[in-house]
Chains A and B, each alone.
Chain A
Amino acid sequence: MTATTSTSAAPATPAPLVEATRDDASLRRFLLGLPGVDQVGVEQRAAGLGTRSIKKDAKRWAIDTAISMVDLTTLEGADTRGKVRALAAKAVRPDPERQDTPRVAAVCVYPDMVATAVEALEGSGVHVASVATGFPAGRTSLEIKLADTKIAVDAGAHEVDMVIDRGAFLEGRYMAVFEEIQAVKAACGDAHLKVILETGELATYDNVRRASWLALLAGGDFIKTSTGKVSPAATLPVTHIMLQAVRDWHAHTGELRGVKPAGGIRTTKDAIKYLVAVHEVAGEQWLTPDLFRFGASSLLNDLLLQRRTQVDGHYSGPDYVTVD
């Protein structure tokens, strides 16, 4: 699952992009020089694409694809090893009575739970993702962020979800954010880095676009909308802008980077709207767990219920799926 997104054997970054990160001033010029985003336009487009009608075979395919893209997540202060093991079991066998249900992409936990998750998911093919870098606020020193990352990676995390320093970004200290992402990426080793922009705190779509490019320039394998701890979390228009960013990145460099909306996506209907956006904004290529994920905890059960409805021809109800 790791082959397509890594930078190995990828074409060299084009000169203008290398130049963009030469120093503080050039990074600033580059980011401020990105095309603006018209709010009315992007929201209109997102709403318009949301009306695509997905039914029957297309819906079954979409549900299975969405399940395989879920990062099943528990990020609570009250997380226990028991809870993480239960979640891991669900990740491998989302619907015990329907063995053909695909497994999810990853289980996402805090760094101290990574070892438990790794053990529980041994050999299953489900990845372990860990939110590191002082999640969710990220208001701590770089040393601690790197140590946090190292703890997760040493414990066996395949994927690290880092939060950017929104304060530095809003102050316009782009180079500080850039260097921090680079440092965390280096600390990740072979693990994949997902960069959480916390778009709800960036406030404008222009900022979302700049932060997306900043994360891509610094080597993030994925750009992710939210921690799930701030409202608004993932929205369709924001995801559209991030999909445009990875599409444009691909056009410039030939590299494929991923997008992960997280927080607030609870229903199959919503998930399908995101898949339509992936399909029509970025392109068909991105319709794979390697390049698109859902950060969600409650979405999976709705996907499972809808999957049963499609297969059985009737709705079964929440008591027929497991709560973990």
Chain B
Amino acid sequence: MPVFEYAPAPESRAIANLKDSYKPFVNGEFVDGSGEPLKTINPATEEVLAEVGTASKSDVDVAVKAARKAYNGVWSKMPGTERAKYLFRIARLIQERSRELAVLESLDNGKPIKESRDSDVPTAAAHFFYHAGWADKLEYAGYGPNPRPLGVAGQIIPWNFPLLMLAWKIAPALATGNTVVLKPAETTPLTALVFAEICQQAELPPGVVNILPGAGDIGASIVAHADIDKIAFTGSTEVGKAIQRQVAGTPKKLTLELGGKAANIVFEDAPLDQAVEGIVNGIFFNQGHVCCAGSRLLVQESIAEEVLEKLHHRVSTLRIGDPLDKNTDIGAINSAEQLAKIRGLVESGDAEGAERWTSPCPVPDRGFFFAPTVFANVHQSMRIAREEIFGPVLSVLTFRTPDEAVAKANNTPYGLSAGIWTEKGSRILWMANQLRAGVVWANTFNRFDPAAPFGGYQESGFGREGGRTGLEAYLNV
């Protein structure tokens, strides 16, 4: 019997309208940045996609001035109903250009097209729609009669969900009347610069949104800039701590959304087949490049063997390869550095005695790929149980009782998300109260909605994004 081979179904890269070069966006125009241009590459092939102009410290100054002018002159004075119109327009334009954005995102980031197309881009549009709805209702958000914007927001976003994180940051800032200077990640600047085109298309007043590609030093200049009122950062805990140190003692407001090492807890009475799906979705979604990924599986000892067996079977069916292929489940690791980091941590797992299982799926020769990996016999004392791996690597631990599950789940410096799998409703509620995590999913994982606040505890950061709570981070209340 021949094997059931799915034919390649690649999306055309022509849809991305890829240009040779991209430029920073300041005061409504694409400008030549005075920083050293960087080359952004396709992590699935290692080919150069485009040259991107970057900002220097002086450009940051120009952008902040433009943002301040737009804030004082137009944006903060504009009635909420008018601001809403711009946001709705941006949301519709994201939808209209969704295929272009999805393909471009997959090219630049390495994530599978089915995720950029079905998750990233639609959710980004949803955030603008949702916040557009709030723009004229801020007096009714429960913060008193006249909540005021903060001013100019400096925003720094990571490479794992480039467009979506941009939406999470820009939509609430604009809805509440702030103007922004945003720095996309060094390895994934392209969709942010297409978003700048969308701002032009929407005829957003100049200076309301400024986008400055660049490396960490530009992020640092934004954080240090005296005329910025608010810093919003999503990224690594290490950088987050540095930012917090820098901002301490200044009047700047700060929200941080940092790393995670989420526990996905499976009880013996769980719907097992769906739990296995949730485990897979929890850790292998976006190659595990998810700060709230369910990277620690806590499974009750009585079913551990069965779950592991089912998990191996299921993970073996995941298809790794060309991100533009609609049949691809797992795309490329975003960069060579990240791949090296994942390898290093996996080796530490081997060295510390965890039992490694790797999916037998074929892995492409070119590009940065890492086959889905599951570690069994992991213990709390191992690095792979404590440190964020940020890759398709799952650590499996076991527990005996609900109390032990809570103790182990909470035994981490992080606290962004958690998952509970059980058919017992009372246990879900009890567990959700015990777990120190910003989001707790029950019988599902990695579900996002603009109306649901997202954020962390402890080293996973503070402040919330999304929902009514998320607005507070951009309001003087």
Q: Determine the chain B residues whose CB is within 8 A of the CB of A62 once the complex forms.
A: 4
Please report the C-alpha to C-alpha distance between residue A275 and residue B6 in the assembled complex, in whole angstroms: 11
Kindly report which residue of chain A lies nearest to residue B443, judged by CB atoms. A38
Q: Determine the chain B residues whose CB is within 8 A of the CB of A41 once the complex forms.
A: 271, 273-274, 277-278, 443-444
B3 close to chain A: CB less than 8 A: yes
A22 close to chain B: CB less than 8 A: no
A40 close to chain B: CB less than 8 A: yes
* B-contact bits for A205-218, CB 8 A (1 contact / 0 none): 00000000000000
Please report the C-alpha to C-alpha distance between residue A121 and residue B1 in the assembled complex, in whole angstroms: 25
* B-contact bits for A29-61, CB 8 A (1 contact / 0 none): 000000111101110110000011111111101
Interface of B is mostly: loop
Q: Determine the chain A residues whose CB is within 8 A of the CB of B5 once the complex forms.
A: 57-58, 61
Contact B326 A51 (CB under 8 A): yes
Known: A36-B423, A41-B277. A58 touches B443 (CB 8 A): no
B9 close to chain A: CB less than 8 A: yes
Q: Determine the chain B residues whose CB is within 8 A of the CB of A44 once the complex forms.
A: 277
* A-contact bits for B248-270, CB 8 A (1 contact / 0 none): 00000000000000000000011
Q: Determine the chain A residues whose CB is within 8 A of the CB of B277 once the complex forms.
A: 41, 44-45
Contact of B274 among A38, A283, A284 (CB under 8 A): A38
Known: A41-B277, A287-B1, A288-B1. A56 touches B7 (CB 8 A): yes
Known: A40-B444, A280-B317. A55 touches B2 (CB 8 A): no
Contact B271 A37 (CB under 8 A): yes
The A-contacting residues of B in range 265-287, CB under 8 angstroms, are 269-274, 277-278
A5 close to chain B: CB less than 8 A: no
B111 close to chain A: CB less than 8 A: no
Shortest Cβ gap from A199 to chain B (Å): 16
Kindly report which residue of chain A lies nearest to residue B309, judged by CB atoms. A251
A interface bracket (residues with beta carbon within 8 Å of B): 20 to 34
A244 close to chain B: CB less than 8 A: yes
Please report the C-alpha to C-alpha distance between residue A54 and residue B270 in the assembled complex, in whole angstroms: 33
Q: Which of A38, A53, A244 has the most CB atoms of chain B within a 10 A radius of its CB?
A: A38
Contact A244 B4 (CB under 8 A): no
Shortest Cβ gap from A277 to chain B (Å): 11
Please report the C-alpha to C-alpha distance between residue A319 and residue B375 in the assembled complex, in whole angstroms: 58
Contact A58 B271 (CB under 8 A): no
Q: Determine the chain B residues whose CB is within 8 A of the CB of A57 once the complex forms.
A: 5, 7
B106 close to chain A: CB less than 8 A: no
The B-contacting residues of A in range 238-259, CB under 8 angstroms, are 241, 244, 247, 251
Q: Determine the chain A residues whose CB is within 8 A of the CB of B6 once the complex forms.
A: 52-54, 58
Contact A35 B7 (CB under 8 A): no
The A-contacting residues of B in range 128-158, CB under 8 angstroms, are none
B234 close to chain A: CB less than 8 A: no
Known: A35-B270, A38-B443. A61 touches B326 (CB 8 A): no
Q: List 17 A-B contacts (CB under 8 A).
A: A35-B269, A36-B271, A38-B274, A38-B443, A40-B274, A41-B443, A42-B273, A45-B274, A51-B326, A53-B9, A54-B7, A57-B5, A58-B5, A59-B7, A251-B309, A280-B317, A283-B313
Q: Kindly list the 7 A-B residue pairs having the minimum CB-CB distance in the complex, ordered from nearest.
A: A41-B274, A53-B9, A38-B274, A38-B271, A35-B272, A55-B7, A36-B271
